[in-house]
Each structure stands twice: as C-alpha cells, then as structure tokens.
C-alpha cells in the first residue's frame, strides 16, 4: 500500500515560472515574468541590506508597520489589510478557507493560472468561462455561477491578456452574484493602469462584505524575489484570513522593503510613464511588422502570431538573441507570446528581433 493524496492533487501540473537561462547564450534579457523594468527601488535595497542584521529575529506577525504604510499610501484602513507571502498566498488561503471538496470556483478562461491550481489543491471544481476577444465576459461568468459556487476570481487588468473591465462592468458583476459568493479582484497590475475611471477594487470592497481586492509588490515595486503581497477586505474576511494564515507568513526583510518601496519618491510615476511610453512603442512597432498585439493595461503585451508553430519559431528566434519571453500554451493561447516591458534598450531589442523574424518568415 502507498500513501496517496487526495485525487484532485494529482490532477495538478506544477506551476512553472518564467525561464531565466538559455544554454549557450551569455547575455540574458528576462522578459518572461512581468518583473518591474527598473528592479527594486534604492530605498528598498538599503532596507533589505540593513534587515540582514536582524535576520535572527522573528518578524512582526501582524505586519503592523507595513499595513499602516500601505493604508497611508492608498487611503485604506490598515485594520482591513492582510499581508502575505506574495498575493499568491492570499489567493490560496481564500480558496482553502471558503472552497474545498464539493464546491466550485469560477474564473475567466484565460485568467491567472494560480486560481485553477489552488482551486484543485483545495478539491474545488474549477469552471473556466470563455472570453470575448480575450476579455472577461460578465454575462458568461454570471451564467456559470451555481449553488455550489463559493468564489469568483477576476484579474483586472488580466494576466496574460492585458485586458481590463470598466468599473461599470465590475459593479454589474457584483450585483449579479449571490451574496454568499466571494468576488476576488486580483489587481496585481493596478499601478500601471492609465484608464481614468479605473478602480482596483476598493469601492466594491467598501460597498459590502463579500468582495476582496488583492495587490502585490512584485510588479511596479520590483520586489518579486521578496514575495510580498496584500489584500484589502471586509472585516469578516480579515478575521477568517487571520485564522488560516501562518503566524509569521511575511519575512522581516520583505516588510521593511515594502515600507521603503512605498516611500520611494517618484517611483510609481516614473515607472508608469516609462511603461506607458514603451508599451505603446513596442505594440506599434510589432503591428507595423505585421503582428497582432492585444490591448494591454499591464506592464506586458500579448503578441499574436496566428499559429502555435509560428509563435514557437518566434520564441526560438528571440531566445537565440538572449531574449526570454513567455510562451502561452499553458494558458490555452499557444499562438501567442507574452512580452514584459523592460528597459528602453530591452524593448528596442525585442522590436528589432521580431521585425527581423517577420521579415524573414
């Protein structure tokens, strides 16, 4: 006899992060994980360095100073903020707390893979709803909700498509959901959005007791390696997360890095300006080269090559020049490549490489 896990666990393929090496290539440009173009803020680097001297101390289990800093930066009540080991941890804890065997979670067809993976870890049935032009379909999502549905996940902007739903559609989605279904708005890319009426989720969280907004320090704040995320939630959900999270789930170094990153003068503004400029330039250049580029509000674009084999060939062409992007087969988008907006030099390298690729084939 062999000890066996729950059957749903064996249905899960381990998550594979963006690659960072290409055999035989010396200089690697990693544009596969949507990491911030400029790395960590200088203040965060200094804070991490200083924190090494206190590495023998357990961190503050309640992350009080960090929650207060987040609250001050975004105008939120610190008592309704929960910090985690990346927003992935918070997403997983929500599913474990509210889902489980015999329940369902609903997501859009090309939503973030972690919703599906964590749902199956918990034993949930995961329902993926087809999208319209790679944009979440509110009517389809609502139609997929049944008596066993406990959570609905929506990334806004969405990874990997870059699409965004207006606030009016989010309000319509929340109003159409039963009151006992938790709506989780994953706003990992919120800081990059330039659409005027965009709300990352705060308004819907404040409007009731059944919506959660998750955020991260892994993108615009350049702290992916520190694993730091947070959520803003109603008091009842905060209470539940406090019961299921680990007592020291955020490291001391991550906390001080996050506080320093929030305080870095002009960091968000400069990062958004760079991202908006070069996202537009890369998209326009690839369209001139004959490729379809889906509209994006994140720090990445989704380039469509029309066929899986052509996307695979383009990926190989980029890798031969040390440019690593993300293949999209695992998202059901095999004809596409997701390309992070890096530095100006890195973006220009992508433009030149893919222009060459389309010219030659």
Distance in angstroms (rounded) separating the CA atoms of residues 145 and 173: 11
Q: Looking at residue 13, what is its pLDDT?
A: 75
Classify 232 as helix, strand or coil: strand
Distance in angstroms (rounded) separating the CA atoms of residues 200 and 184: 11
Q: Is the pLDDT of residue 190 over 80?
A: yes
Q: Looking at residue 207, what is its pLDDT?
A: 96
Structure tokens at 216: 């991260």
Q: Looking at residue 7, what is its pLDDT?
A: 80
Among 274, 291, 298, CA closest to 337: 291
- How far from each other are the two terminal CA atoms of the chain, in whole angstroms? 55
Across the chain, the runs of DSSP E, i.e. the strands, are 29-30, 81-84, 104-108, 125-129, 149-155, 182-186, 211-216, 229-232, 292-294, 300-304, 323-324, 326-327, 336-340
**Structure confidence by residue, pLDDT tens digits, 199-242:** 999 999 999 999 999 999 999 999 999 999 999 999 999 999 99
**Structure confidence by residue, pLDDT tens digits, 33-81:** 999 999 999 999 999 999 999 999 999 999 999 999 999 999 999 999 9
State the number of CA atoms in the 13 A half-sphere of 290 facing the CB: 11
Q: Looking at residue 12, what is its pLDDT?
A: 75
Cα-based distances in Å from 38 to 278, 297, 361: 13, 18, 33
Cα-based distances in Å from 163 to 27, 136, 224: 32, 8, 22
Q: Looking at residue 17, what is its pLDDT?
A: 65
Q: Is the pLDDT of residue 15 over 80?
A: no
Q: Looking at residue 25, what is its pLDDT?
A: 65
**Structure confidence by residue, pLDDT tens digits, 155-171:** 999 999 999 999 999 99
Distance in angstroms (rounded) separating the CA atoms of residues 268 and 258: 13
Point out which residues pair with 324 in neighbouring strands: 30
Q: Looking at residue 24, what is its pLDDT?
A: 63
Q: Can you spell out the DSSP letters for 138-180?
A: HHHHHHH--TTEEEEEEESS-TTT-----HHHHHHHHHHS-TT
> In the predicted model, what is the mean pLDDT of residues 182-211?
96
Cis ω for the linkage preceding 360 (within 30 of 0): no
Q: Is the pLDDT of residue 18 over 80?
A: no
Q: Is the pLDDT of residue 20 over 70?
A: no
Say if CB 76 and CB 70 are below 8 A apart: yes
Say if CB 170 and CB 197 are below 8 A apart: no
**Structure confidence by residue, pLDDT tens digits, 302-341:** 999 999 999 999 999 999 999 999 999 999 999 999 999 9
Structure tokens at 348: 């220009």
**Structure confidence by residue, pLDDT tens digits, 95-106:** 999 999 999 999
Q: How confident is the model at residue 125 (pLDDT cuts 50, 70, 90)?
A: very high
**Structure confidence by residue, pLDDT tens digits, 129-159:** 999 999 999 999 999 999 999 999 999 999 9
Q: Decide: residue 326, CB within 10 A, 0-12 exposed, 13-18 middle, 19+ buried.
A: buried
Q: Looking at residue 10, what is its pLDDT?
A: 79
Among 233, 215, 224, CA closest to 77: 233
Distance in angstroms (rounded) separating the CA atoms of residues 330 and 280: 26
Q: Is the dihedral of CA 129, 131, 135, 138 positive or negative?
A: negative
Q: Looking at residue 3, what is its pLDDT?
A: 84
Distant-in-sequence, close-in-space partners of 132: CB < 8 Å, separation ≥ 6: 140
């Amino acid at each position: 006899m062999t000890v066996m896990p729950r059957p749903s666990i064996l249905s899960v393929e381990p998550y594979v992060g963006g690659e960072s090496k290409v055999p035989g290539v010396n200089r690697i440009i990693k544009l596969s994980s949507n990491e911030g173009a400029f790395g960590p803020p200088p203040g965060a680097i200094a804070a991490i360095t200083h924190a090494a001297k206190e590495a023998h101390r357990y961190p503050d289990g309640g992350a009080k100073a960090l929650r207060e800093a987040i609250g001050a930066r975004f105008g939120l009540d610190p008592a309704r903020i929960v910090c985690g080991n990346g927003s992935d941890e918070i997403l997983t804890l929500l599913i474990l707390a509210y889902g489980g065997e015999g329940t369902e979670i609903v997501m859009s067809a090309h939503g973030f893979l972690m919703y599906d993976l964590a749902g199956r870890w918990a034993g949930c049935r995961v329902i993926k709803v087809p999208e319209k032009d790679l944009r979440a379909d509110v009517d389809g999502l609502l139609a997929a909700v049944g008596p066993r549905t406990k959570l609905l996940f929506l990334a806004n902007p969405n990874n990997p498509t870059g699409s965004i739903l207006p606030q009016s559609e989010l309000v319509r989605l929340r109003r159409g959901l039963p009151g006992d279904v938790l709506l989780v708005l994953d706003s990992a890319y919120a800081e990059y959005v330039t659409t005027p009426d965009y709300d990352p989720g705060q308004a819907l969280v404040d409007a009731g007791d059944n919506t959660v907004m998750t955020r991260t320090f892994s993108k615009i704040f350049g702290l992916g390696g520190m694993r730091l995320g947070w959520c803003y939630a109603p008091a009842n959900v905060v209470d539940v997360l406090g019961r299921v999270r680990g007592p020291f789930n955020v490291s001391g170094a991550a906390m001080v890095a996050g506080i320093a990153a929030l305080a870095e003068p002009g960091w968000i503004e400069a990062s958004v300006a760079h991202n908006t400029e070069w996202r537009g330039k890369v998209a326009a250049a690839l369209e001139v080269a004959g490729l379809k580029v889906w509209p994006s509000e994140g720090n990445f674009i989704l380039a469509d090559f029309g066929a899986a084999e052509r996307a695979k060939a383009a990926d190989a062409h980029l890798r031969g020049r040390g440019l690593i992007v993300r293949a999209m087969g695992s998202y059901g988008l095999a004809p596409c490549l997701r390309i992070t907006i890096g530095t100006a030099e890195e973006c220009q390298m992508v433009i030149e490489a893919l222009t060459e690729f389309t010219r030659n084939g």
